[in-house]
Amino acid sequence: MKLELYSQPFCAPCARARTVVRRAQELLEDLEVEEVNVVQQVQRGEQLGIVSTPVIRLLVDGEEKFRGTDTPTLNQLLTAIARAGD
């Protein structure tokens, strides 16, 4: 499973989301994480309809299974990961 975190450098909610994602990655060694800076990769964000940050996408075999548009708690993120893997 791949987790994509769409963020901006000076976004406080993005910094909190980064911390939660790091914790999840520590617990789930197989979780692949990619952070996408939408300031540097504007076109990629636009193509996916990212209009605010942070956004977390969970992908299984390249297919989006979950999209969250707020800063999750660790429990919320782990639950989303478990459900996306079903």
Show the domains of the chain with their CATH numbers.
2-84 (3.40.30.10)
Tell me the pLDDT tens digit for each residue of 7-45: 999 999 999 999 999 999 999 999 999 999 999 999 999
Q: Which residues contact 51 (CB under 8 A, 6 or more apart)?
A: none
Residue 86 scores a pLDDT above 80: no
Confidence at 75, pLDDT banded by 50, 70, 90: very high
pTM of the model: 0.93
Q: What is the pLDDT of residue 45?
A: 93
Phi, psi of 33, rounded to the nearest 5 degrees:
-120, 135
Candidates 71, 70, 77, 11; CA nearest to 39 is 11
Q: What is the pLDDT of residue 44?
A: 95
